[in-house]
Amino acid sequence: MRRILIAVALFASACGGGSPSIPTSTPTPQPQVPRWNLNGVVRSSVGGAIVGAVVAVVDGPDAGKEALSDTSGRYGFSGLRQGGFTIRATANGFVAVTQAISLTANSNADFQLPRTPVAAFTADGSLIVSRRDDGSLDLSGIAVNSGDGCANTLAGTTTVTSTTGSALTFLWTLSPPQTIRPGDRVTYVIGTMTPSQAAAFDAGGSYVTAFAFTSIGC
């Protein structure tokens, strides 16, 4: 009997206490991607800081972040995630420049932006005057692209002033439209003076032309 009682006690101990507990697992912590700072200076390729240049992260996990250059041309990012990505610097009047970055520590990346070529027009010489049989005058002028960029849609306002102070203003557009390269000379038709208007300008005078145009890539 003693042996039987002991066996029953052991059995009750093994079966009592409800359901066995299930051990829980602790999630493995994910490694943190290191973060670094990126700074630099944006300058013109001919020297001098560029104020207000936009430096942008083009791709990678931080794509879309932007920084502006200050009065010294300096810009800065903080907390960029480690890795490879591209940044681009843009500024009005300059050609955008892109750099590939491999960020593994706090780093610097400077930019030198070339100036965007721009057309510029000046009047060359005196007005070209053609007299009609009825005494009216056809007026033309010559424009020179004195800039380093190309242009099209050339137009302008020409004001002709006589020696007595009389003034006439003409609005004109170069026709047919054409691409005007650096150094090119073009003749533009200003307009026509009536015989009565021409009579006031026969003694001579001066003219001023303001040019309007669209700069384009050559």
Answer whether 35-113 and 121-216 agree in fold: yes
Is residue 194 scored above 70 in pLDDT? yes
When pLDDT is averaged across residues 138-161 and rounded to a whole number, the result is 95
- Structure confidence at residue 217 (pLDDT): 79
Beta-sheet pairing, 107-108 with 97-103: unpaired
- Structure confidence at residue 4 (pLDDT): 41
121-216: CATH number: 2.60.40
Least confident stretch, 12-16, 119-123, 165-169, 191-195: 12-16
Is residue 150 scored above 90 in pLDDT? yes
Q: Measured between alpha carbons, how far is 29 from 7 in angstroms, rounded to an integer?
A: 47
Mean pLDDT in the chain? Answer: 87
Q: Measured between alpha carbons, how far is 109 from 116 in angstroms, rounded to an integer?
A: 22
Q: Measured between alpha carbons, how far is 190 from 180 in angstroms, rounded to an integer?
A: 18
- Structure confidence at residue 23 (pLDDT): 62
Least confident stretch, 19-23, 78-82, 84-88, 146-150: 19-23
Task: Please state whether the predicted TM-score (pTM) of the whole model is above 0.75.
Answer: no
| Beta carbons of 188 and 172 less than 8 angstroms apart | yes
- Structure confidence at residue 14 (pLDDT): 43
Task: Name the residue ranges covered by the structural domains of the chain.
Answer: 35-113, 121-216
The H-or-E segment that residue 26 falls in is none
35-113: CATH number: 2.60.40.10
CA nearest neighbour of 96 among 84, 111, 85 = 111
Least confident stretch, 29-33, 80-84, 99-103: 29-33
| Beta carbons of 74 and 37 less than 8 angstroms apart | no
- Structure confidence at residue 47 (pLDDT): 86
Instruction: Classify 7 as helix, strand or coil.
Output: helix
When pLDDT is averaged across residues 79-89 and rounded to a whole number, the result is 97
Omega of the bond leading into 176 within 30 degrees of 0 (cis): yes
pLDDT tens-place string over residues 55-73:
999 999 999 999 999 999 9
Is residue 199 scored above 80 in pLDDT? yes
Confidence tier at 163 by pLDDT (50, 70, 90) = confident
Other Cβ atoms less than 10 A from the Cβ of 203: the count is 9
When pLDDT is averaged across residues 120-130 and rounded to a whole number, the result is 91
Confidence tier at 33 by pLDDT (50, 70, 90) = confident
